[in-house]
Amino acid sequence: MRKEPSKQLALEVKDLFKSFDGQTILKKLNLKIPYGQSVGIMGPSGTGKSVLLKCILGLVKYEGQIFNNGKLLTTKNRNILFGSFGMLFQGSALFDSLNVWQNITFKLTSQRRVSNKDALEIAIYLLKDVGLTENVAQLMPAELSGGMQKRVALARALADNPSLLFFDEPTTGLDPLTSSSINELIQSFTNKKNITSLVISHDPLSINQICDEVIFMENGEIGWSGKVSEMKNSKHKLLIDYLSSTKLKK
């Protein structure tokens, strides 16, 4: 008897399989993310973390099923069902040709038909929310530090009041102090706004700061999963080795 997807889950992945050129990347992976929870996907390079995210976002074809709010995602309805989601890309991925406020409100002005006047007001409000001043709104991305770009990218991810947020290596290229401040900012927003989030990261320190639950990927499968607080006491050998190379295990 076929089990129906749970309507109590923000995101559910069933039997997800993906291969490239005959090489299996994801092996019948299953994943459940309840509403309001922050889940981290962690693991060594090449274990399928980024491919999993690309499958969820519909950027690559796959076998299996992915549900959002209990509804099966398809090519036709994915954009509709994911109409209210936010994405913080690796490296921020700001548009070089647009200034800060135009970057933040790009989705609002291009898809929601929000006027430039209203968009600027929204952008200024969000800039203050992420710890930046109003005068940053007119600057170009090239005029910002890496940490400032990441804050602007977070403001853009929050611009459409998302219920679901995706983070792809949120602290890549940042120094430890800046990384910690960005992690704290993300954790504060997801808690305060009760946003469901999926965080893809190589960095256990980011996962530890941001997430409630963690999934450790190993060869296209879930090698270990549990609460972040339980991670350091895991007996899983590869996870232990992975954590021992960071300050998290010390």
* pLDDT tens by residue, the chain, 250 residues: 344 555 578 999 999 999 998 889 999 999 999 988 999 999 888 888 989 998 998 889 999 999 988 889 888 877 776 666 888 888 888 999 999 999 999 988 987 788 999 999 999 999 999 999 999 999 999 999 999 999 999 999 999 888 889 999 888 888 888 889 999 988 888 888 788 999 999 888 889 989 999 999 998 999 999 999 998 888 888 898 888 876 655 4
Q: Is the distance from CB of 212 to CB of 38 less than 8 angstroms? A: yes
Structure tokens that stand for 233 in this block: 């006491």
Question: Rounded distance, CA 127 to CA 163, Å?
Answer: 19
Q: How many CB atoms lie within 10 A of CB 113?
A: 7
Local structure of 87: helix, strand or coil: strand
Question: Rounded distance, CA 12 to CA 6, Å?
Answer: 8
* H or E segment and range at residue 199: strand 196-201
Q: Give residue 82's pLDDT.
A: 67
Q: Which of 32, 38, 28 is nearest to 11 (CA)?
A: 32
Full DSSP string of 58-74: TSS--EEEEEETTEE--
Q: Give residue 83's pLDDT.
A: 66
Local structure of 224: helix, strand or coil: strand
